[in-house]
Amino acid sequence: MSVSTRRMQDLTVEDHTITVPLVWGDDADSRTIEVYAAVVAREGGENLPYLVFLQGGPGSEAPRPYHSPAAPSWLDAALEHYRVVMIDQRGTGRSTPIGDADLARGTDELAEYITHLRADGIVRDCEAMREHLGAATWSVLGQSFGGFTTLSYLSTDASSLREVFFTGGLSAIGRTPDDVYALTYDKLRGGSERYYRRFPHHRDTVRRLADLTDAGTIVLPDGEVVATSRLRSLGMLLGSNDGWQTLHHLLEEEPHTNAFRHDLASALPYGTRNPLYFVFHESSYADGYPTRWAADRVEPDDFRDDVTLLTGEHVRREWLDTVPGFRPWKDVTLALAEYEWPRVYDADALRESGARGAAAVYVNDLYVPLEYSLETLELLPGVTPWITSEHEHSGLRQGDVLPHLLDLAHGRRVR
């Protein structure tokens, strides 16, 4: 265990690192990992209650706090009421991160290790950090996958949670990965058509680019020969408030230029900085099921026939061969796709959790479908929903989302 404190203008940041089991509940397994959290407080707020932030992903570390005006954009609002715990989820950031060096472990050992990095393990780490900080209870803000983890938290340790806040993070309960990805294709179909209604000439642009990717003539700076399925995954941009602007700018560039190649590389999802995001992304929807490349398997016929229908958080098996940074991860990823993932949610426990808080549910969410989010909300009657079309999945990055949720949870008048 280690603790250190630093000052950043009007913020105090405590760096906490604790050692926890890799496999919780198995005394015969002696493997351990480190879990890191930055505890952020504004001057004068050192005794406020704790709010732990659970990052989206899976496979990404928490954002780093900076001086006021604080980054991320919601942090200033949170610090008015809480000390904020920015925890790096196991396998990311400063919490024993997974990276290319771990491939030396071998396929079987590494695949088995990664199976312990899911939401249930993250919850146990959170409980260890809460106890380390001496908090009887704390509140949770879960963005996207962080919300999924919050549902797992409520399934096992609801008594530790004072309030829960979800932003685009109400996962489907009792659904298969196939169910989820089939519905997200419907969402991307609608998102693609909305974009082309605004910019109809870009439909032909995407067709021309697809002809170039079919011919293998678009090559990124790292040597990746862009597959057509990778090009189409630019639909991921449509899931954020201002992502359409990035897509529009990219599609206005000439494909033979350095600018296009570099901007395309930056815009494509599933980079190699955080390989976990690609390697076990589908497991985030695998509540008691193997994934077996669900997004590939349930792709609708019209998506197969029309290259202008863009995709989003749909991982593709062929990228194991076409993306240079993913090739070393091929065997591990294939092994994880066959793994029988255990359950992480308990519907009965959620009903009985007594959870209180608020949830932002985005009508046009391309990643976490509205329909399944509303089903899950029925299990949490004490969580007040804010169902809105003002924001996309990235809404938390806007300054008004968290204050609105705090007002809802605390019974204050809202607009």
Q: Do 209 and 320 have their domain in common?
A: yes
Q: Do 204 and 328 have their domain in common?
A: yes
324 domain-assigned? yes
Q: DSSP letters of 265-331?
A: HHHSSS-SSSHHHHHTGGGGG-SSS--SSHHHHT--HHHHH-TTS---S---TTHHHHSTTTGGGHH
Q: How far is CA 85 from the centre of its chain?
A: 17
Q: Do 153 and 280 have their domain in common?
A: no
Looking at the chain, the number of H-run helices and the number of E-run strands are 17, 9
Q: Do 328 and 364 have their domain in common?
A: no
- Residue 201, domain extent: 177-337
What residues does 83 pair with on adjacent strands?
A: 50
Alpha-carbon span 33 to 239, nearest angstrom: 34
414 domain-assigned? no
Q: Do 82 and 196 have their domain in common?
A: no
Q: Do 147 and 218 have their domain in common?
A: no
Question: What pLDDT score was predicted for residue 73?
Answer: 87
Q: Are strands 32-42 and 11-21 parallel, antiparallel or unpaired?
A: antiparallel
Question: What pLDDT score was predicted for residue 414?
Answer: 55
194 domain-assigned? yes
Q: Do 134 and 254 have their domain in common?
A: no
Tally of structural domains, the chain: 2
Whole-number percent of the chain with pLDDT over 90: 90
13 domain-assigned? yes
- Report how far apart, in Å, the C-alpha atoms of 274 and of each of 55, 126, 132 are: 13, 21, 28
Handedness of CA 71, 74, 78, 79 (dihedral sign): positive
Give the pLDDT confidence of 151-171 residue by residue, as tens digits.
999 999 999 999 999 999 999
Kindly state the DSSP code that residue 228 receives in the 8-state scheme. Answer: H
Question: What pLDDT score was predicted for residue 413?
Answer: 59
Alpha-carbon span 327 to 388, nearest angstrom: 40
Tokens of residue 403, six digits: 């204050």
What residues does 103 pair with on adjacent strands?
A: none
Structural contact between residues 14 and 65, judged by C-beta atoms closer than 8 angstroms:
no
Q: Which of 337, 369, 387 is the last residue of a domain?
A: 337
Question: What pLDDT score was predicted for residue 41?
Answer: 95
Question: What pLDDT score was predicted for residue 2?
Answer: 79
Q: Are strands 383-388 and 161-167 parallel, antiparallel or unpaired?
A: unpaired
Q: Which of 319, 337, 355 is the last residue of a domain?
A: 337
Q: Do 168 and 311 have their domain in common?
A: no
- Where the chain has pLDDT below 50, the residues are none
332 domain-assigned? yes
Spatial strand order in the sheet of 32-42:
2-8, 11-21, 32-42, 83-87, 50-54, 138-143, 161-167, 357-362, 383-388
Q: Which of 337, 369, 401 is the last residue of a domain?
A: 337
Residues with Cβ within 8 Å of 101's Cβ and at least 6 positions away in sequence, in order, are none
CA dihedral 265, 267, 272, 273 (to 10 degrees): 110
Q: Do 349 and 327 have their domain in common?
A: no
280 domain-assigned? yes
Q: Do 315 and 379 have their domain in common?
A: no
249 domain-assigned? yes
Question: What pLDDT score was predicted for residue 69?
Answer: 52
Q: Do 266 and 314 have their domain in common?
A: yes
Q: Which of 161, 92, 102 is nearest to 350 (CA)?
A: 161
415 domain-assigned? no
Q: Do 197 and 299 have their domain in common?
A: yes
CATH of the domain at 357: 3.40.50.1820
